[in-house]
Amino acid sequence: MSKVAVIFWTQSGNTEQMAQAVADGAKNAGADVDLLETSDFSPASVSGYQGLAFGCPAMGDEQLEDSEFQPLWDSVKGNLIGKKVGIFGSYGWGDGEWMRSWEAECKELGITLASDPVIANEAPDDDAVEACRSLGASLV
């Protein structure tokens, strides 16, 4: 059985809703899934998973949250090559630049994304929830 981690940071709860949908998609595809906030995950944890999804909303000037999520991301990204990886998050302003920048960083590092990133404007609508479930299934 494939083991998948869904790691997220949320401020308003929107990215947490997306994380739950990613986890549901992976579970429905047959994976053993851990749904974790950033504070519950560490670089040492990466090796225990075949698939990992990371969720973070756009913050400030369309960037990743910088006090918890960015430090975690920086500490694990070098260990993600060869893993099935997905990224997702919500935003309330801008046009999704933070996600395009994050996706570009993954490509530059040689991290292969298992599916297209998923973004939602504010709370995820039905289409975003379904896209999150598909992202989760792609990690199995």
- Is the pLDDT confidence value at 61 over 90? no
Q: Sign of the C-alpha dihedral, residues 58, 95, 90, 138?
A: negative
Residue type, 32: D
**d(C-alpha 140, C-alpha 138), whole Å:** 6
Q: What tens digit of pLDDT does each residue of 66-107 get?
A: 999 999 999 999 999 999 999 999 999 899 999 999 999 999
Residue 134, φ and ψ in degrees, nearest 5: -65, -40
Confidence of residue 1 (pLDDT cuts 50, 70, 90): confident
- Residues sharing a CB contact under 8 Å with residue 1, sequence separation 6 or more, in sequence order: 30, 31, 32
- pTM listed for this prediction: 0.98
Tell me which residue of 99, 86, 125 sits closest to 6, measured CA to CA. 86
Q: How buried is residue 55: exposed, middle or buried, by Cβ count under 10 Å (0-12/13-18/19+)?
A: buried
